[in-house]
A and B are shown apart, each in its own frame.
Chain A
Amino acid sequence: MPRDFLKNVRREYDVIVIGSGLGGLTAANVLGRTGYRVLLLEQHYKLGGLATWFRRPGGHVFDISLHGFPFGMIKSCRRYWTREIADSIVQLKNIRFDNPVFSLTTEFNRDDFTRLLIERFAITQETVHRFFDTVRAMNFYDDQSMTNGQLFERFFPGREDVVRLLMEPITYANGSTLEDPAITYGIVFSNFMSKGVFTFQGGTDHLIHLMERELRNNGVDIAIRSEVDEIQVRGGRVCGVRVGDRTIGARAVVSNANLLATVNRLVGPEHFDRTFFNDASAVRLNNSSTQVYMALKPDDKIDESTGDLLFSSTAPAFRTDLLLDRNITSRTFSFYYPRIRPKSPPRCLIVSSTNARYEDWADLAPGEYEGSKQDLIETTLDALDRYVPNCRERIAYIEASPPRTFQRFTQHLGGSSFGTKFEGLMVSRELPKHVRGLYHAGSVGIIMSGWLGAINYGVIVANDVDAQLTAAAIG
């Protein structure tokens, strides 16, 4: 008989959280800490969603998305998790750009970007300050008609090189494009590119382990390998979830699944009015990713001057279609040095990340698919050789993940690795007005994506749930 992963689960809870990405984990933790009876359900056997890792023979441990997140993570982890988690966050100090137009190294903060823009790009100090102040003042309620492309044109007309410097890291972090609303860029830029970039010492597995321990300390029940088939709704309000043939009652449900899957598959169209359902159906998915994971032989070391994060490109210009093209020209290399995992055998690992379109990979025949993966590996090694000389001989293990791998792992529609586009945020926030007790906390609208955005959105939604349950208790 298969193991029953729901064996110790109660018949009902105050809140059920579906999905254990950082948003789901954080919502569960905040609500558990507040005193609610919370159940966290995860379809995979590991918690963390895309905050994840995997092991391969030879003692290699690969992190998927650990490098790097903004300064604000320290505060959010201290407040919504533990001091121990916050204290393990360390800065990555060597951020490099290398493309046909410029090659430079930066500390990735406002002072250093200001210096670079003035010294290397001959922008006046006044323009740089005005740009930083303008994006910093951007607010979610501002006019949404201006695009990123228009914002850059206003401050740096005709300067593709500047756009590249200011945009490439954001594209890596959350899939933003020049066609997306400028306010989404402004908010993320001000968080991400003003106080440096950070990572978690000990690796993703250590972080998720500490989070799981804290969840249990706060009384949260956790069940892995438990895929929710249905969010049950009766009389316009949530009453529980169904996992296979098991029904579990709840007064509120927080879905950390993809927004479109939540509306379409977990709840179902019949529970929404037509206008809202149409709005929800019109939300665009964000793009997917490809990654290539490489481990150096155990005794080989990469010189740390190679950088922690390297935004590399051979494309002559920065364009959305080039970024997503299967003929890859842009790669972000994350270098993991032994200091990131001080308790593990000393290893140097490299992860190459590129944004990609799911549809380019979805329908390939098996042979073609394997061929494309091999091609991805070869072209990545070609590109890496410039930074890690003779890398082909030095690498002990290599593996590629196309969008289909992301899809299989996260169950996200279209293998989306950054949730939905901006309009998803409004739909996500409106859900409880249409089905009482139904909430969504997941990657929506760029602002709520990335590690910090996901954690903070989990808190924002936990606050909404607490408000609803408190109101019900007061009567």
Chain B
Amino acid sequence: MTPDDIRDEILDILSTIAPDEDLSDLKDDVAFREQLELDSMDFLDIVMELRKRYRVQIPEEQYEQLASMASTVRYLEPIMKDKQRAG
């Protein structure tokens, strides 16, 4: 997957986790929490969804890498570069 594919996938996961939020103006360099009403359970859901879709394992001490879109894509890029898009 390319960084753009990963970004799309994260957006897709976010749209299921926060169905009431408008994601079209999401700024990649700003923390999710500053733009969306996300709590720690929401981040756990992102982790579970990535595992379900791609068998990607994110250890608890790395959860902070998911703070913003930019940091998430940067963290996932080497892990997901050989993965195929699901579905």
List chain A positions with a Cβ less than 8 A from chain B: 34, 72, 75-76, 79, 456, 459-460, 463, 466-467, 470-471, 474
Q: Which residue of A lies closest to B45 (CB)?
A: A79
A463: chain B residues within 8 A (beta carbon) = 44, 47-48
Cα of A470 to Cα of B19 in the assembled complex, Å: 28
Shortest distance between the CB of B21 and any CB in chain A (Å) = 13
Q: Is B81 an interface residue (CB 8 A)?
A: no
Shortest distance between the CB of A467 and any CB in chain B (Å) = 6
Cα of A11 to Cα of B39 in the assembled complex, Å: 39
Interface-central residue, B45, B48, B55, by most chain A CB under 10 Å = B48
Near A by CB (< 8 A), chain B positions 9-59 give 17, 39, 41, 44-45, 47-48, 51-52, 55, 57
Cα of A460 to Cα of B41 in the assembled complex, Å: 8
**How many residues on the B side are at the interface (Cβ–Cβ under 8 A)?**
11
Give the contacting residue for A470; candidates B41, B45, B51; CB below 8 A: B51
Q: Which residue of B lies closest to A75 (CB)?
A: B41
Q: Which residue of B lies closest to A191 (CB)?
A: B39
A79: chain B residues within 8 A (beta carbon) = 17, 45
A471: chain B residues within 8 A (beta carbon) = 57
A470: chain B residues within 8 A (beta carbon) = 51, 55, 57
Q: Which residue of B lies closest to A471 (CB)?
A: B57
Residues A460 and B44 in contact in the complex (CB < 8 Å), given A467-B57, A471-B57: yes
Cα of A459 to Cα of B45 in the assembled complex, Å: 9
Cα of A76 to Cα of B40 in the assembled complex, Å: 12
Cα of A194 to Cα of B45 in the assembled complex, Å: 23
A459: chain B residues within 8 A (beta carbon) = 41, 44
Cα of A75 to Cα of B48 in the assembled complex, Å: 16
A72: chain B residues within 8 A (beta carbon) = 39
Shortest distance between the CB of B55 and any CB in chain A (Å) = 6
User: Are A466 and B51 in touch, CB under 8 angstroms?
Assistant: yes
5 other A-B residue contacts (CB within 8 Å) besides A76-B41, A466-B48: A34-B52, A460-B44, A467-B57, A470-B55, A474-B57
- When A and B form their complex, which 10 residue pairs have the shortest distance between CB atoms, in order from nearest? A463-B48, A456-B41, A463-B44, A470-B51, A470-B55, A467-B57, A474-B55, A471-B57, A466-B51, A460-B44
Cα of A466 to Cα of B45 in the assembled complex, Å: 12
User: Are B44 and A467 in touch, CB under 8 angstroms?
Assistant: no
B51: chain A residues within 8 A (beta carbon) = 466-467, 470
B41: chain A residues within 8 A (beta carbon) = 75-76, 456, 459
